[in-house]
Amino acid sequence: MKFRIAISRKVLLGVAGALLVLGGGAGGAVYMGYVSLPFGESLGLRGSVDETPPAHGEQTTEAKPAEGGHAPAAEGDHAAAPAEGEQAAAAGEHGAAGGEHGGGGEAGAAALPAVTYEIPPRSDFNSKVRDLMKAQSAAATGAVGPVTSQREAISKIQIALQTFDPKTAHQEELESLGIYLLSGGNPRGLAGMIEEVPSVSPIKKILRGAHDYVTGDTEKAKALLMDVDLSTLSQGLAARLSLAQAAMIDPKDFAGQAVALKRAAGYAPGTLVEEAAYRRLVALAMKSEDQRAFVHSSRRYIRRFPNSLYIGEFLQNYGQGLLMFEEMQKPLPRADLDRLLHILPHETARTLVLELGKQTVKRGLRDLCLHVTRQDYVQYLSDETDVRRQRLYGLACNVVEDPEAAKVGLTSLEEQGLPPEDTALKADALRLAEAMLGETQAPQIGQSAGPELPDADTSATEVSAAQQLQASEELLKEALQ
């Protein structure tokens, strides 16, 4: 079984190949060439309209604070406790008020002196990192602007880092530096800056680990980051650190990775962190062959992030999982596929329908093939050529069950506009139908330009695999390059 699945994955031309091509379409072209993608993500393709409401507590706009006032909490951050100076200032104001209104006693007679020094946290550097976080969260909803916003935000942070003093930086600013590192920021030149952070700061160890992680020194990063108490950090940093921890867990420890990814999603709901976490959970469920987890994670992703800029990677994993679980006789709910196609942009849905039709024929997955080639799926197609392709796949996957009807349909099917591989598929399917009806002999079919076909009593899966093995050889080489 494992060998058969491994071979079958090589044959996944459509979802692993065509969707990659789609990644270079309208959405991909806009994104390419700007900044490195956050969290080590691959380029996806953009949805059409933002239909995802902000998660509870997630900010969609940022009120500009008055001079001297506090900026609102960043994406998922704790309602941070006042800094030491702020506490003193608050105490001074409270004491002064007590003197005015309390009238008498020591508290009223001696007001605490006012604090005059400026408080650096959340004034400049933190706000720039918050802008980056918001731009990345907008990418999870498929907004058009985040690409430029991310580029601009990172440029502004790099300029701010030129005057950033790690010796006097407050803990919140140091946490923002960690968020920047774990959000696609450029680590160049930051190693020396991190070493200047006072040793007493609990964030120094995390910054070292984050730098090691993004520069590829995984073993050092694991030693520094795997035992960090996330509850002591802001939610923005804790969420990104959870994603990093998940990536450093033993690849065979599926349960451990899932826990870390769900924890990351919980720290930052409605953001790109949650989007990335559930995208990885879908891939993880496929690797672990956990059909139940795959269904749960993919449903959540589809419901919350249908327009993400990175949905291309999800579609690849979903398509592979759909075919794999079908082969394992653990089919995914058909309604889930219907729901996904309904929310996707038309061109993306079209490609997915046609490629799934082709792959189900190659793999002999008749039930799924009949589902994706049914009449109501025509709504996702673009023209008559697409309709002919869909009809071809439906007829080809039904050759073994009803060779006579398949022959009639294939004979009447026009080849105009069909891609070369589909024309070859039609010829192979028609020869097989004739062989099963006893109109031709298998040896004669095997001597033709098409692949050698098995005997008529061979299983549908074996028949379909033999049909396509030779015809798809060149396509496989291109898809796997």
- Read off the pLDDT band of 156 (50, 70, 90): very high
In sequence order, what are the residues at sequence separation of 6 or more whose Cβ sits closer than 8 angstroms to the Cβ of residue 116? none
Average pLDDT over residues 37-60: 37
Domain segments of the chain as ranges: 8-60+119-344, 345-481
At 34, the amino acid letter reads Y
Asked whether the predicted pLDDT for residue 28 surpasses 60, the reply is: no
User: Residue 274 and residue 305: Cα distance in Å, rounded?
Assistant: 9
The mean per-residue pLDDT over the stretch 380-384 comes to 94
Per-residue pLDDT, averaged over 63-84, amounts to: 36
Over pLDDT 70: what percentage of the chain? Answer: 65
- The C-alpha atoms of residue 345 and residue 411 are separated, in whole angstroms, by 34
For the ranges 29-33, 259-263, 386-390, 393-397, the lowest mean pLDDT is seen at 29-33
234 vs 273: CA distance, rounded Å: 14
Q: What is the pLDDT of residue 332?
A: 96
Confidence of residue 239 (pLDDT cuts 50, 70, 90): very high
Closest CA to 62 of 49, 50, 75: 75
Between CA 420 and CA 174 the distance in angstroms is 58
Q: Of 20-29, 117-126, 319-328, give the lowest mean pLDDT range.
A: 20-29
Quick one: tokens of 203? Answer: 């964030």
Res. 388: pLDDT tops 90: yes
Residue with the bigger pLDDT between 243 and 141: it is 243
Q: Is the pLDDT of residue 12 over 50?
A: no
Instruction: Give a three-class secondary structure readout of 125-192.
Output: HHHHHHHHHHHHHHHHCCCCCHHHHHHHHHHHHHHHHCCCCCCCCCHHHHHHHHHHHCCCCCCCCHHH
For residue 45, pLDDT beyond 80: no
pLDDT at 32 over 60: no
CA atoms within 13 A on the CB side of 303: 9
Given a cut of 80, whether residue 11 has pLDDT beyond it is: no
Report pLDDT digits (tens) over 280-321: 999 999 999 999 999 999 999 999 999 898 999 999 999 999
Residue 88: half-sphere exposure toward Cβ, Cα within 13 Å: 11
- Over residues 361-374, the mean pLDDT reads 94
Q: Which residue has the tokens 């409270």?
A: 94
Q: How far apart are CA 354 and CA 321, in angstroms?
A: 17
Checking if the pLDDT of 46 tops 50, the result is no
Query: Residue 395, Cβ neighbours under 10 Å: how many?
Result: 25
Helices (H), 197-290: 203-214, 218-225, 235-248, 254-267, 272-287
Is the pLDDT reported for residue 322 higher than 60? yes
296 or 29, higher pLDDT: 296
* pLDDT tens digits, one per residue of 244-275: 999 999 999 999 999 999 999 999 999 999 99
Tell me which residue has tokens 């921890």: 245
Distance CA 21, CA 24 (A): 6
Nearest to 204 by CA among 219, 225, 187: 225
Q: What per-residue confidence (pLDDT) applies to 141?
A: 84
Are 302 and 343 in contact by the 8 Å Cβ rule? The answer is: yes
Of 7-21, 114-128, 129-143, 165-179, the range with the highest mean pLDDT is 165-179
Least confident of 22-36, 140-154, 273-287, 439-453: 22-36
Residues 6+ apart with CB under 8 A from 269: 55, 56, 57, 58, 76
Per the CB < 8 A criterion, the answer to whether 258 and 287 are in contact is no
Q: Which residues of 39-64 are buried (b: 16+ CB within 10 A; e: fewer)?
A: bebebbbbbbeeebeeeeebbeeeee
Average pLDDT over residues 331-351: 94
Closest CA to 14 of 359, 406, 405, 474: 359
Using the structure block, give the residue that is written with the tokens 């929310």.
343
203-207, 216-220, 353-357, 477-481: least confident range: 477-481
> How far is the C-alpha of 398 from the C-alpha of 387, rounded, in Å?
17
Q: What is the pLDDT of residue 329?
A: 95
More confident residue, 49 or 242: 242
Residues with Cβ within 8 Å of 443's Cβ and at least 6 positions away in sequence, in order, are none
75 in helix, strand or coil? coil
Rounded to whole angstroms, how far apart are CA atoms 298 and 267?
Answer: 19
> What value does the mean pLDDT of the chain take?
74
